Structures are given as structure tokens and as C-alpha cells.
Amino acid sequence: MDRFLIEGGRPLEGSVRIGGAKNAALPAMAAALLTCERVELDNIPQVRDIITMGRLLAHMGAVVETPELPPTTMIIRAEKINGAEAPYELVRTMRASILTLGPLIGRTGSARVSLPGGCAIGARPVDLHLKALEQMGAEISTSHGYVEARVPGSGRLRGGHVIFDKITVTGTENVLMAAALAEGETKIENAAREPEITDLADLLIKMGAEIEGAGTPTIRVRGKQKLHATQHTVIPDRIEAGTFLVAGAITNGALELTGCAPEHLASVIAKLRETGVEIHETAPGTLAVRGAKTLAAADVRTEEYPGFATDMQAQFMALATQAEGTSVITETIFENRFLHASEMIRMGANISIEGRRAIVHGPSTLSGTSVIASDLRASASLVLAALVARGETIVDRVYHIDRGYERIEEKLSSIGARIRRVH
């Protein structure tokens, strides 16, 4: 099992290129199931979840090609779907597998998808997805860990009025894809507004779908009989960009981030500036971050986009351990997303947990020790904490970080970090 060995205490300086967004690439790959024609996706990150999704699509009969090394382009041809099933052995480590449900039932009228695995950060039920698809005419049951769905009669979903009880990103994506091939118009209310939703809608529109309102709480989709071939470039990863902004800030370094989308980072940038960090857009798609000798405490409350992303909460907690004063971090999205706090406490952080609130008193002198990553973003936060800790930190179970960060140890090494992967 791979680990990172990190020696802290060095300010990071230099330039880092931000890769494509994993959370946009995964639904884009699933959307390729909606057509029998060629779909070319560019700016695809080479991370574990992408590899898993590629294997899943291939299992279903799609031809998946990555002509470049390292691959940033992926070509998918789902001319025939041999089996509309996502088996547990392929999806047990990746929650995004549920994204195949909408395209499969939309195109074939049936699907069998294992209830997904992924990070241990609390319940992420798929009942919102299932209820929405039932409103569009699907008959759905769950048994032995699988969701089984079929459309009786014509086998084609019909447009409907979907109102989500709670904002759900993957639920919005699933219904958006299913509605693209449904009969009539589908209206989605209380839809997620994340940039990844807009990116998926842009792809579907290029494939021939009619979609209005993506990026707002109300989306309208007029279904088509079929979709066609297209080429699409996936948006930059706003969470990777946010993580490197914190890396520059926590080490009192000076970094340039290229290939990012600053407009997707407004809440993170605003909060980092509140702590005293300098961030400027120096060119289109380029951000410069410079740390502060003394960081100020700041409170954070995670919210759906455009609020502060839950996927940046752990990284901000690492920064808060180095800030002067008390920071209160409130997690409203997931109920079990403070697992990294206990590992930071082992490094010397002063953190107390009260339900959905983490209270961080800083600054703390962190010391290197052995820590265990519990999920994808927790991994990143422990790496950030290790960058400022005295001595050597061993971060175990880094397969979590490989799910969402492409060669993070190489990128950090290139800007001055002392980090290496050991087996």
C-alpha cells in the first residue's frame, strides 16, 4: 500500500498547471453512453476514478481509447451496449458509478447498477435519483445491493416535473442525462448549480440535446430521439486549484496556478483573502497566490455552489491550524466529514469537534508523525499539514488521494516540496 513521506518546513514557489476536473470528467464519460457515435473528451485527468469509470464503460461494451501518454484525450464509442449493468466489483471504490444509471435507462430502457462505494464521509443516498427517475416512468427496485430499473411499454422515459427535496449534484446530472433522450420536456427544480452541471449540459447540447437553465435552480430539457458525436473539453478542476492555493498559503510561499478557472473559485478565494493571503488573477486562467507571515483566523460554512465547497473544508482546516485566533468550521453537506481532524490533532493541532462544527485554535506547531487518510479530501489536508510540520510525516492509504489528484507528489516536488511516494 503506497504512502507519502513528507518533510515539512519549505515554502513552495513556482508554477503548477491545474488539470481537468474529475467531477466533470466522470459524468461526461457516462454521457457518452447516450449515443452510438464517437465522443471525444479532452483535458481528462489521469486519476484512479477515471480509470475505474473507463473500465466500467468497457465492461458495458463501449470502446474506450486514450491515444496520448499521459492521456488527456479520451475517445468513447458506445456503439453497442452489451450489458446495462455496473457490477459491484468494478464500482465498489467509486461513488460516481451511479452516474451510469441515467444514461443506461435513457438509452436502453433498463439498467442494473450496484449501490456505489467511495469515501467514508457519511451517507450519500441515491433515493433522490431513484424518485426522480420514477417520476419519468421508470420502475425501480433495490435488492442485494443493486438498483434495478426498467421502463415498461415503449422502453422510453417520458418528460416530467422533477423537484428535488434536497440539492444533489449527481442526482441533477443523472436526471439531466436521462431527460436528454426522454419523450417530451423535463423540468428540474432545486437543481444543483455547480460548474460541473453546466459543463455536462454544454456537452449534451453539443451532442444535440436541448437544455436551458443549467447553472440555475431550474433546468428545462427537451428530449431527443437520439444524440450524436461531438468533441468536448472538460473544465479545470476547481478543487485541485483550491488545494494548491492553500498549499501556497500554508507554506508562506508564492505560486502561480495556470490552466484554472478563477470564476469557479470565488468563495474559496474570498475566504483565503480573509485570512490575509494575497491572490490575484495575473492573466486569463492564471492565479498568483502569496502567503502571509501571519494568517488570521476565519470561519467557514460549507454550502452548495456558489458557497464554500465541502470538498475544500478539510484543506481549509489545515490552514486554520496555522492561523492566529479561533476558526469555526461548520460542515452542512456531509455528517461525517471531520475524520481528518483526529489525525491533525495527532500532529499537534488544537481542534475540538462539536457535532457538525470543528473549532480550530491556532497557530499550532505541527510535528511530523504517521497519519492515515480516510477519504480523498482528507488525504489532501494531511499532505498540506505535513508541508508545514516539523520533521517527517508519513501519510498512509494515499490510494484515496490518487482517486482525485493527478501525480500530486510530482507537482508538489516541482515547486519545492520534499515529498516522495514509497511502496
Catalytic residue among 25, 94, 96, 119: 119
Sequential DSSP letters for 19-61 = -B-HHHHHHHHHHGGG-SSEEEEES----HHHHHHHHHHHHTT
3-state secondary structure 142-155: EECCEEEEECCCCC
Active site residue 119: yes
- Beta-bridged to residue 395, according to DSSP, are 4, 371
Find the largest Cα–Cα distance for the chain.
67
The continuous run of DSSP H or E covering 126 comes out as none
The continuous run of DSSP H or E covering 82 comes out as none
In angstroms, the Cα distances linking 129 to 132, 164, 166, 243, 275 are 5, 9, 11, 30, 38
- Beta-bridged to residue 163, according to DSSP, are 189
Q: Is 404 exposed, middle or buried (0-12, 13-18, 19+ CB in 10 A)?
A: buried
Q: Closest Cα partner for 247 from 50, 2, 15?
A: 15
Question: Hey, which residues are catalytic here?
Answer: 119
